[in-house]
Amino acid sequence: MEYIGEHLLPGKLGHLAIFLAFSAAFLSALAYYFGTRRRDTPEAANWKNIGRGAFLVHGLSVFSIIGIIFFLMINRYYEYQYVQAHTSDDLAFRYIFSAFWEGQEGSFLLWMFWHVVLGVVLMRTAGKWESPVMSTLSLVQVFLMSMILGVYIGWGDDPARIGSNPLMLLRNLVEAPIFNSADYLNLVQGNGLNPLLQNYWMTIHPPTLFLGFASTVVPFCFAVAGLWLRDHRDWMKPALKWALFSGAILGLGILMGGAWAYEALTFGGYWAWDPVENMSLVPWLMMVAGIHANLVGRNSGYSIKSAYIFYILSFLLVLYSTFLTRSGILGETSVHAFTEMGLEWQLIIFMAAFLGISIYLLISRNKGIPVPEKEEATASREFWMFIGALVLLFSSVLISGSTSLPVFNKIVTFFNPDFKPMVITDQVPHYNKYQLWIGVLIGLLSGAAQFMRYREPNWPKYNRKFLLHAGLSLGLSVALTALSLLWIQAKAWQYWLLLLAGWFAIISNLDFLITFIRGKIKLAASAFSHLGFGVMLIGILASGLNKQYISSNPFLMDGIIEGAEEDAAKKNIMLFKGVPMPMSGYQVTYVGDTIEGFTRTYTVNLKKQDADGKVSEEFNLHPNILYDKGFTKIAAYNPYTKRYVNKDIFTHITGLPEVEMDAEARKNREKNLNYKPVDLYPGAGFEMLDTVNLRDRDTFDLRRVTLTLEGVNFHPVHPEYDPKPGDIGLGARIRVTPAAGDTSYVVAPALVLRGQLAYTYPAQINELSMRIKLDESAIDRYIGIEGNLDFKEFRLKQGESAEFNGMPFRFAGVDRKPQNPGYVKEENDIAVGGLLEVTGPEGKRYLAQPVYYIRGAQPMNIRDYIPELGLYARFVSIDPATETMTFMLAQREAGPEALPVDVATNSFRSDFIVFQAIIFPGINLFWIGSLLMLSGLGLGLVNRLKNR
């Protein structure tokens, strides 16, 4: 079939680019391989040139694929499945990037993009290491490219698929009847980007994180190259720079993920030991361990083997992390949503290949790796740095082990189908209780090791200095720990120890910075990092242990549930609009809300009160919610954080009245209300009794309210009513006065007749839980239904007068541009409006302008209606021969006496929010500390780049 409107050329070019990128990476890997194998022969240079050329072709192809996908996305070519799945017409341009890497294929491309960039830098800087390093990098690219290849191999009904191609056409992937029509594209709309991801974090976090992931490949490539060439020392110098780069960027990426979770999502924290978080942390830990082993190796000759292993592990763990997060194996253990690509086996082969290469190289080169004959001294920096690296390894093993539980389950279930999968019952405490010790050890080591020297030449003489500094630091740290425990309420001694380790890292590194290196910035990188680590530990303890939900409400919670643990889970407060509520030392009031686009922003006022009720501080919070397209459901709750230097108040909305959250519920609620019909007479009050349920539910109160009809109009205004031409509207002004109290409420319900359908627009008085709408029978009484009317025919010439139901009227003339709101002009219409001047009973004059028109040889007419007289006028024909025009007039029954309205009491209040507020004390210490730690890595890199 020939389909209409498809753009197939970019797709074809894209397929070509994918094929080219894959083959060129393969060629590059091969050429660089031979360039390495034959490095001592004259042909090596040729191989290297082929490798370079092939890698550049590969790089250009990768850029082209990305460019083509962007082009398709920007133009919303929904014939491509990837475009249809990730964009939509209403997606703002600034989210195109986010949409690009929302899908797995896009994120693989982002990863490859960074590898290409890093590869080009390596070509220029790696020197003699270029061939072996680029050979490994190109091989990695071959595997990554295969993930988006989209080739079927094999025969029969179920051929094996290699990769998932992002340029597949929708109609080739989905079987659906609409593809039987050639113009199916007119019917297709985009899925759009998950609203939770429509956020600037989604624009900056993935590129940073993926650059971090991608950069782990470089130290890996150098490690492989070192083993491959049996040159076990030289590789460490360039590898260290890259490892520092990788550590800083990957760390930043992880931290951004935490900041995103904290700032924009409603997790209530920056870290939750979620599998996805864990598996991004572990490669970073190994990279940091590698940096330490590398430093030791460069300065003392020890730990070279460990440096190899750590760098290799860091990259292999990135691959493992990719496998875990993209294979769907984590299933329900993670809050992150995974879409499965069906490429599990391909990812396993990817991992196995590089694991195999690494193991082979490590075993075959094991003997040649230099190890100093003499064992390292216990009192040397290299020894304790190595112990520190081992602690990091230990931490990684524990984290990966627990995170791999679903993998373990899968393997055991394979051999024993009756096995019941295991899960970690309480994720956060499980990880915390072990990692706490890692924190203690690292904190103490990162302080003490700073005072030590590489290859300690004279410990008996030096140990006094060491003991002095370490001892003083420790003493001061103990004092500061005791002092800070006044602020941080830590109930277990383990936390005191961690706090002490944090302080010790801070004090000893400050000491090191001042007395040992005397502020020389060139030597300060490690001090900054370790200082930052200490600050971070204190921030974690302060914000984690003393995180406090302040949004519990003692009055609503009384005696509903016993048991402390469940009580702790009660974290929300309900706020009625305008009703102040007490909340943990604050008075909180939901003030109001505004809607802009799909975002509804709430204003919540907080007043901090002391025991006497004196207000010491007052501020407004603005959490918001995001509705989906069509306002039918809520897509996201976005938090709002009030920041202080020493704490954050983190708030978000956790719930709204069901009628605000769900359009369906709103309809059902309306149907189920118990409306009572009431006839209101103009000017007269109507008294009714309203039963009010009290909280203890056994008693109720009777409340007297008076309804007064203050006026009726025919041009209603209602927040939900969007006037259209041809509408006949009816609106009322009704005053509702409760007997007790001196407030009265004025509401304006509306009723609109559009074509044959009547639409009611009720009005709600939340304070009285009362809902009022105009009864549909009001149409009959106030407007009249045309079918029931008795039309009378008049044939008039221009200027002639007549009388109808006692009302004189005159055919004043015709208007060639009719001014009737019901008439919508189309091209080629011949239209005439007839001007009828009608004099009402009190002598008041009205003008009716019914319209007669011919559209497509069909004569038609549009009526006009004068609500005040109840008069209908139609202009039905023109006799050109006699110049007479025919009008039809009708009047509805005698003027209305009563306005029928329906009143529902006990309608649910819809003016409240469910609100959560958490105080995170000292959270800025966490951010400052972790940024300081990463900037230390960055500083180390800058210093080494300058020192070339």
Q: Report the chain's C-alpha Rg in angstroms.
A: 38
Binding site for other proteins (CB under 8 A): 78, 84-85, 170, 174, 176-178, 187-191, 331-333, 335, 337-340, 375-376, 378, 383, 386-387, 390, 394, 397-398, 401-402, 405, 420-426, 430, 434, 556-557, 560-561, 563, 565-566, 568-574, 630, 633-634, 637, 654-655, 657-658, 908-909, 912, 914, 916
- CB nearer other proteins, residue 196 or residue 229: 196
- CB nearer other proteins, residue 878 or residue 914: 914
Give CA–CA dist 711/734, Å, rounded: 7
- CB nearer other proteins, residue 196 or residue 878: 196
Contacts of 874 (CB under 8 A, 6+ apart): 791, 850, 861, 863, 887, 888, 889
Assign 503 to helix, strand or coil. Answer: helix
Packing angle, helices 344-365 and 130-146, rounded to 10: 160
Q: Which residue in the block uniquely carries the two structure tokens 């292993």?
A: 309
| H or E stretch covering 268 | none
- CB nearer other proteins, residue 133 or residue 313: 313
- CB nearer other proteins, residue 125 or residue 181: 181
Contacts of 55 (CB under 8 A, 6+ apart): 24, 25, 28, 32, 116, 119, 120, 123, 134, 138
Residue 8 CB, nearest approach to other proteins (Å): 19
Give CA–CA dist 298/309, Å, rounded: 16
- CB nearer other proteins, residue 307 or residue 934: 307
Regarding beta strands 858-862 and 851-855, do their DSSP bridges make them parallel or antiparallel, or are they unpaired? antiparallel
Closest CA to 185 of 73, 74, 79: 79
- CB nearer other proteins, residue 348 or residue 387: 387
Residue 176 CB, nearest approach to other proteins (Å): 4
Residue 170 CB, nearest approach to other proteins (Å): 7
Residue 582 CB, nearest approach to other proteins (Å): 15
Contacts of 888 (CB under 8 A, 6+ apart): 791, 792, 793, 794, 872, 873, 874, 876
- CB nearer other proteins, residue 32 or residue 386: 386
- CB nearer other proteins, residue 140 or residue 917: 917
Residue 60 CB, nearest approach to other proteins (Å): 32
Residue 540 CB, nearest approach to other proteins (Å): 21
Residue 202 CB, nearest approach to other proteins (Å): 17
- CB nearer other proteins, residue 326 or residue 781: 326
Residue 5 CB, nearest approach to other proteins (Å): 14
- CB nearer other proteins, residue 131 or residue 165: 165
- CB nearer other proteins, residue 230 or residue 667: 667
Give CA–CA dist 489/496, Å, rounded: 10
- CB nearer other proteins, residue 84 or residue 216: 84
**Cβ contact 573:589 at 8 Å:** no
What sign does the dihedral 57-58-62-68 (CA atoms) show? positive
Give CA–CA dist 215/290, Å, rounded: 14
Q: How many CB atoms lie within 10 A of CB 807?
A: 17
Residue 662 CB, nearest approach to other proteins (Å): 10
Closest CA to 576 of 295, 945, 913, 334: 913
Type of residue at 665: A
Q: Which one-letter DSSP state was computed for residue 828? A: T
Q: What is the DSSP string of 23-46?
A: HHHHHHHHHHHHHHHTTTSTTHHH
CA angle at 163 for the pair 159 and 166, rounded to the nearest 5°: 120
- CB nearer other proteins, residue 558 or residue 617: 558
Question: For the range 724-728, what are the long-range contacts, defined as Cβ-Cβ under 8 Å and sequence gap of 24 or more?
Answer: 724/754, 725/821, 725/822, 725/823, 725/824, 726/754, 726/755, 726/821, 726/822, 727/752, 727/753, 727/754, 728/752, 728/753, 728/754, 728/783, 728/865, 728/867
- CB nearer other proteins, residue 630 or residue 683: 630
Residue 694 CB, nearest approach to other proteins (Å): 13
Residue 588 CB, nearest approach to other proteins (Å): 13
| H or E stretch covering 319 | helix 304-326
- CB nearer other proteins, residue 299 or residue 402: 402
Residue 722 CB, nearest approach to other proteins (Å): 15
Residue 335 CB, nearest approach to other proteins (Å): 7
Give CA–CA dist 26/6, Å, rounded: 33
Longest CA–CA separation in the chain, Å: 130
Residue 189 CB, nearest approach to other proteins (Å): 5
Residue 686 CB, nearest approach to other proteins (Å): 28
Residue 885 CB, nearest approach to other proteins (Å): 37
Q: For the purposes of burial, counting CB atoms within 10 Å of the CB of 682, is it exposed (0-12), middle (13-18) or buried (19 or more)?
A: middle
What sign does the dihedral 628-632-636-638 (CA atoms) show? positive
Give CA–CA dist 522/526, Å, rounded: 10
Residue 429 CB, nearest approach to other proteins (Å): 8
Give CA–CA dist 260/198, Å, rounded: 12
- CB nearer other proteins, residue 53 or residue 580: 580
- CB nearer other proteins, residue 242 or residue 637: 637
Give CA–CA dist 893/789, Å, rounded: 9
Residue 101 CB, nearest approach to other proteins (Å): 16
Q: What is the DSSP string of 656-693?
A: --HHHH-HHHHHHHHHHS-EEEEEE-BT-EEEEEEEEE
Retrieve residue 948's tokens.
């070339």
